[in-house]
Amino acid sequence: MKSTKCAIALGSNLGDSLTILKSAIETLKNTPGIAVKSHSSWYQTAPVGPPQPDYINACAILEVTLKPEQLLATLLEIEIKFNRLRREKWGPRTLDLDLLLYDNLILETPTLTLPHPRMTERAFVLVPLAEIAPDWVHPVTGSAIAQLLQTADCSGVQKMIL
């Protein structure tokens, strides 16, 4: 079966976020139909939305044999395994897995929009994604991730020293 290159964002700001995110990467590696090709460094980032703790964010490049909707369902299942609760929009969470890019697919369904509709506005996505996929061209804007990063406000994003 043909595999497709995808990009996802990972985030956490509840519980032992770094351990949760590392475990999520391992869970992805052990999920049928998903191969983790690379992941970025970890970044401490200021939250968007209601008052809450800072996040730890990263991005990963996957090779998948799953269709976009199957991949989204799998990411949501993994979030649930890590006790993700959806109480309020942009609220704190143990784990957030967002499908950013699925090759160069442009898709709009009731449950999935590709590329992710707000990724170009979010430094906490663009900084780690530019680290591992600077030349990936956003299929809507036609700009490489590194170019999109040049116009982002990165003041709330710090690379973590571990």
Which residues are identified as catalytic? 84, 93, 96, 98
Nearest-angstrom CA–CA distance, 78 and 74: 6
Q: Cβ-count burial of 95 within 10 angstroms (0-12 exposed, 13-18 middle, 19+ buried)? A: buried
Nearest-angstrom CA–CA distance, 58 and 10: 5
Query: 3-class DSSP state for residue 32?
Result: coil
Within 10 angstroms of residue 147's Cβ, the number of other Cβ atoms is: 16
In the chain the first and final C-alpha atoms are separated, in Å, by: 38
Is the separation of the CB atoms in 54 and 160 below 8 Å?
no
Query: 3-class DSSP state for residue 33?
Result: coil
Dihedral over Cα of 59, 101, 4, 132: its sign: negative
